[in-house]
Structure formats: structure tokens, C-alpha cells
């Protein structure tokens, strides 16, 4: 089961309902809002992808399949930027 975690080298700040991130590979900061901020908060500790999907499904009262579809591009972008790392 793969787990997701914040990359420890990311610089970040909470700004109200948003989170501003500066991953090592990004020239400019990224702003997370709404579900993005929620995911960031949930990944305070390494979290299994399946658990993340369950929590978000419950929070937004959505099916697991729908959450998977919505979450996929977001997670890809954050892992691609170096903000998140995927562990075993």
C-alpha cells in the first residue's frame, strides 16, 4: 500500500483558508485552496492513499471512485512539483 507525505524540503505557510508552498523544484510558490489545502493538512503525517480517499469521500459525501478521479490530477501535480513524495 503506497503512502503519501509532504516532502520535508518544502517551504510553506498557512494563509487563512489557503496554503502557500514552495517546493524545491518550483521557481514560484504554489497556492492551495479548498480541497488542496485539506489534502495538505491531512498529509501532516504519511498517509495511505486509500485512507486519504476514504477521508475525503466522507468529508465531501462523495463516492470513492469520484474522489479518485478528482484527486488524481491534483496529486500528480503535487508529486511532480516535489511537494509530495510517495513511499512504500
Partner 1 sequence: MMPDTGVPASGDDVTVDVDRLVRRVAVHGLPAAPPIRDVLDAPLDDDRFGELLRRTERHRVTGHLMDAVESGALPATASQAEQVAARHEAWCASMLLLERELLQVIDRLEANSIEVVVLKGSAAAHLGYPDPALRLFGDNDILVRSHQIDRALHVLAAAGYARRSVPARPDFDRRFGKGATLYSAASTELDVHRSLVFGSFGFAVDLDELWDATTTFRLAGRELTALDSDAALLHAMFHAALGDAQPQLGVLRDLAQRTTSPAHDPERVVALARRWRAMPVVKRAVSLLEAHLEVRVDGPIAVAAAAYRPTSTESRAVASYVAADRSFTAMVLASLPYLPSMRERVAFLRAVAMPSTDFIATRGIVGGLAWWRQGLRRLARGGRR
Is residue 59 a contact point for partner 1 (CB under 8 A)?
Answer: no
Task: Rank residues 31 and 69 by Cβ distance to partner 1 and give the closer one.
Answer: 31
Rg (CA), the chain: 12
Q: Ramachandran region of residue 82, left (φ > 0), alpha (ψ -120 to 50) or beta?
A: left
CB of 18 to partner 1, least distance (A): 6
Q: DSSP letter for 81, please.
A: H
**Closest to partner 1 by CB, 13 or 64:** 13
Q: How far is the CB of 13 from partner 1 (least distance, A)?
A: 4
Angle at the Cα of 19 from the Cα atoms of 15 and 38, rounded to 5 degrees: 120
How many CB atoms neighbour CB 13 within 10 A? 10
Examine residue 86 and tell whether it contacts partner 1 (CB under 8 A): no
Site string for partner 1, 6-45 (x = CB under 8 A): --xxxxxxxxxxx-xxx-x---xx-x--------------
Interatomic CA distance for residues 75 and 73, integer angstroms:
6
Q: Contact positions toward partner 1, by CB under 8 A?
A: 8-18, 20-22, 24, 28-29, 31
Amino acid at each position: 500500500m503506497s503512502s503519501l507525505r509532504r516532502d520535508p524540503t518544502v517551504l510553506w505557510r498557512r494563509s487563512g483558508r489557503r496554503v502557500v508552498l514552495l517546493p524545491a523544484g518550483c521557481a514560484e510558490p504554489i497556492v492551495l485552496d479548498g480541497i488542496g489545502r485539506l489534502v495538505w493538512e491531512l498529509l501532516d503525517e504519511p498517509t495511505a492513499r486509500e485512507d486519504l480517499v476514504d477521508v475525503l469521500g466522507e468529508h465531501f459525501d462523495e463516492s470513492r471512485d469520484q474522489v479518485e478521479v478528482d484527486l488524481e490530477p491534483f496529486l500528480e501535480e503535487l508529486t511532480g512539483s516535489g511537494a509530495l513524495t510517495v513511499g512504500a
